[in-house]
Amino acid sequence: MTSTNNHTREEEQLRVDRVIHHIDQKAEKIIARASSIKESVIELRKDFWEDVTVNIDEPDDVIETQASIKQQAELLTQKEQSHGKLDDELKTLKRLRESPYFGRIDFHEDIEQTQEPIYIGIASLMDNSDEDFLVYDWRAPISSLYYDYSPGEAQYETMEETISGEITLKRQFIIQQGIINGMFDTGVTIGDRLLQEVLGNNASTKMKSIVATIQKEQNRIIRNKGNQYLIVQGAAGSGKTSAALQRIAYLMYAYRDILSADNIVLLSPNPLFSSYIANVLPELGETNVRQTTFLDFLENQIRHPFTIESPFEQMEYVMTRTNQQNDSIRMKNIDCKSDLSFMRLLDGFIDHLNTQDIQFRNITFRGEVLISKEQISDYFYSLDETITIPNKLELVARWLLQEIRDQQQNELDKDWVLEKTELLDKEDYQDAFYQAQKQAEHETNEVVHEESILRKEVIKRVFAPIKKKIKEYQFVHTSAAYQRLFTDWTPDEPPENWEAIRTYTTANLAENFLPWEDAAPYLYFQHRLLGTPHDRSVRYLVVDEAQDYAGFQFACIKHIFPNARMTLLGDINQAIYSYMADENPLVAASPEEASYEKITLTKSYRSTRQIAEFTIPFAPGNEMIEPFNREGNKPLLIQQDRSNLAKTLVAEANKLRKNGSETIGIICKTKQESSQVASLLKDKIAFTQIDESASNFPKGLLILPVYLAKGIEMDAVIVPDASKERYSNETDRTLFYTACTRAMHELIMLTAEKPAPFISEVPQEKYQEERR
Ligand SMILES: Nc1ncnc2c1ncn2[C@@H]1O[C@H](COP(=O)(O)OP(=O)(O)OP(=O)(O)O)[C@@H](O)[C@H]1O
């Protein structure tokens, strides 16, 4: 990599100046257009009622008035939308003005024999003639050259063809406030110098976009097309989350005519993480996609008012259990319900329900049973066995609605109906009057009375909630049907400990409580029973931290979104539960999948070389991990007396802060340990304790359990108890690995006893040791 000379730099700065001048001119024009639209919007709003013909004397006039209002409202919406678009354009120009581009390639096309410098930035910018690109969007097909090739032979794909040629120059820029502050020509691979700069910065409390330094292997993820499942296994800090977000931005660009932010759902591990990444897409000029956690998703989907345990509460149980509890029924329940074999068991139970045992609810009206659950059950089970349960339920619903319509007729002339008409409001009376008049014109034999119309209105309203419940299949008692699985049914091949699991689950259901491991099975059961109202708006699903989904949970997601394309990103080294490993999609991407591709990211960017070299020897998986070459201090292991813990933590935190660390995480194994450390440090140093409700984290000193630190990063990490007592088994290995790999620049571990066994797997020269 060579620094370019001053002359070239001046020329490049002149181009930046020209582009900025062009941006300013363009912005002025847009502002003028926007203000004229704004004026016309104000006018339209002001004169809205003048331009509308309002006449409600006759029914025909009412219809005309409605049409006129609709037309006027549409005009207003159109104008407001084009104003919104101009506003977006202005925002993009503002971002471009700050830093118009970050890269340049000179590409000599084989066929065209042309060579134009191509400048690449966060959005496209055309010249005045609207013919040539002053800046290419980083997602444009030609821009992939920048990420995929060094100078020399290169090619890129357009929609129609592959274009080959030669890159004769590849240049990177750091442009801030319109000034080139750094400029490098690259000979071999892109980015080292720029990457060094970027990665050497302090951690941020919000994730940043990486468009200027996307690496070739990351670009494969970002621009991946064609496969229904894209599975990314990547070492800690290899840029999985970053690649996922740039991929979303890429998809929104590449498929902009058919895909919007609403069609993409991102499943993230916790609210803290959601807010951590919330700025990336807006920074790139894109709208944020729908983000949810799996817990929120389950809470929204499950129809029974259960209290659902959070995954963190489950983890806390798993990690704080005593030795005697290792074999507890809770652990057995987790094993059983996380496994795909439980899904097969549920399928068997569903088959059984097809012939008997579904629980129904009475349909009541004014305190009386209108159609009893027994009648519903009889009707249901009289239907052909070969029809699926959801299809039979549809037939039942149709039958029930017909019964209700008959009942409506029966009730129509009763006295209570007339009494209720008094509760209708003025408009209803007016409506009834018009309708009566209109019908009278057509019906010659019969006189239509307003009263009968009003009665019908009352009946319609009173029965509306019942009909709604029928349409939502609320006549099925899903939770009672589920309960039968554990009380009245014996599977052909009961899982291990089935008796104990039955008792445990029945007790929880009686309390309306779903432990975390039961939540996905219940949702799956609900979907299989009632049918899946496929959310067709979800076209892409991106699942981050995918290693933390049990086999069952992932299969449930696939069942609910059978047509969505999915990108699953995770790191098996950071999986909390070892039992999930064999069924996790990251490990066992099932070959029977229609179309899947697995990409492995091995280069780790977050931590200094010293921290990465310390963590690699005890990484739980066998995947290769390559540290990025950024220098720092060796990790420090401090052996000290337990009574000195508070003193050492305060001293180390202060030292780190003095040396430039802005975000320092004291990462504990559990919430319990976090609370102990917090009470120890109270009044001795300022800190923020992060719990699972946190949706933001500030700079400074943070105390948090490792499972909430997933996906985020800090300048410095202190592990307050790295002893063998705290971290010993294989699950602890992944937790310890996750904690250490959150550190960008500094890693300090304290122990009062023998250190965690994994540390002894690291060659002694890879860390420093101190006794205090
Ligand atoms: N190409 C890149 N250019 C600049 N920075 C990068 C690049 N790739 C990754 N990084 C940086 O490396 C850090 C780790 O990235 P990210 O959080 O996306 O990794 P991850 O694989 O999701 O990590 P983990 O699994 O440990 O949570 C971030 O600070 C990110 O900005």
Q: Residue 584 pLDDT more than 70?
A: no
550 CA to centre of ligand 1 in angstroms: 24
Helix locations, 215-353, DSSP H:
216-222, 240-254, 271-276, 280-283, 294-301, 311-320, 329-338, 340-353
pLDDT in tens, 123-182: 999 998 888 899 999 999 999 999 999 899 999 988 888 999 999 999 999 999 999 998
Atom 8, ligand 1: which residue's CA is nearest?
A: 239
**Ligand 1 atom with the shortest distance to the CA of 238:** 21
Question: What pLDDT score was predicted for residue 676?
Answer: 97
> Where on the phi/psi map is residue 152: left (φ > 0), alpha (ψ -120 to 50), or beta?
left
CA of 156 to the centre of ligand 1 (A): 26
241 is in an annotated binding site: yes
**Of all atoms in ligand 1, which is nearest to the CA of residue 236?**
26
Residue 1 has pLDDT above 50, yes or no: no
- pLDDT, residue 272, reads 87
Q: Which of 194, 267, 606, 737 to mutate to test the pocket of ligand 1 (most atoms within 8 A of CB)?
A: 606
Atom of ligand 1 nearest to the CA of 605: 12
Has residue 592 got a pLDDT over 90? no
CA of 242 to the centre of ligand 1 (A): 6
Q: Which ligand 1 atom lies nearest to the CA of residue 711?
A: 27
Compute the average pLDDT of residues 337-355: 93
Do residues 239 and 617 make contact, with C-beta atoms less than 8 angstroms apart? Answer: no
**Residue 577 confidence class, pLDDT cut points 50, 70, 90:** low
235 known member of a binding site: yes
275 carries a ligand binding annotation = no
Average pLDDT over residues 97-125: 89
Which residue has a Cα nearest atom 5 of ligand 1?
A: 210
Model confidence at 579, pLDDT cuts 50, 70, 90, reads very low
Which residue ranges have their beta carbon within 6 Å of ligand 1?
A: 195, 198-199, 208, 210, 213-215, 218, 234, 236-242, 571, 605-606, 711, 713, 741
How much is the pLDDT for 67? Answer: 72
Segment 2-54, tens digit of pLDDT: 445 677 889 999 999 999 999 999 999 988 887 777 777 777 677 766 666 66
Nearest to 178 by CA among 27, 28, 9, 16: 16
Could you read off the pLDDT of 709-764 as tens digits, one per residue?
988 999 999 999 999 999 998 889 999 999 999 999 999 999 998 999 999 999 99
Average pLDDT of every residue of the chain: 87
CA of 603 to the centre of ligand 1 (A): 10
* Predicted confidence (pLDDT) per residue in 648-667, tens digit: 999 999 999 999 999 999 99
Kindly give the pairing relationship between strand 540-543 and strand 264-267.
parallel
| Ligand 1 midpoint to CA 731 (Å) | 24
Residue nearest (by alpha carbon) to ligand 1 atom 23: 237
The predicted pLDDT at position 245 comes to 93
- 741 Cα–ligand 1 center, Å: 11
- Ligand 1 atom closest to the Cα of residue 245 is 18
Q: Atom 4 in ligand 1: which residue has the minimum CA distance? A: 210
pLDDT of residue 520: 96
Distance 148 CA to ligand 1 centre (A): 18
Lowest mean pLDDT among 45-59, 106-120, 451-465, 486-500: 45-59
Is residue 246 within 8 Å of residue 222, measured between CB atoms? yes
Nearest CA to ligand 1 atom 30: 239
Reference 117, options 126, 125, 108; nearest CA is 108
The token pair at 254 is 């590449």
Please report, as a single letter, which amino acid is at residue 507: A
Concatenated DSSP letters for 556-603?
A: HHHHHSTT-EEEEEE-GGG-S-GGGGGG-TTT---TTSSSEEEEEE-E
- Is the pLDDT at 344 greater than 90, yes or no? yes
Determine the pLDDT at residue 594: 57
How far, in Å, from the CA of 484 to the mean position of ligand 1? Answer: 47
- Mean pLDDT across the stretch 336-351? 93
* For ligand 1, atom 18: residue with the closest CA: 239
pLDDT of 490 > 50? The answer is yes
Does the pLDDT of residue 61 top 70, yes or no? no
pTM of the predicted protein model? 0.86
240 in a known ligand binding site: yes
Instruction: Please give the pLDDT value at position 573.
Output: 77
363-378 pLDDT per residue, tens:
998 888 999 999 999 9
Q: Point out the least confidently predicted range of 122-136, 175-189, 264-278, 383-397.
A: 175-189
Residue-level pLDDT at 591: 47
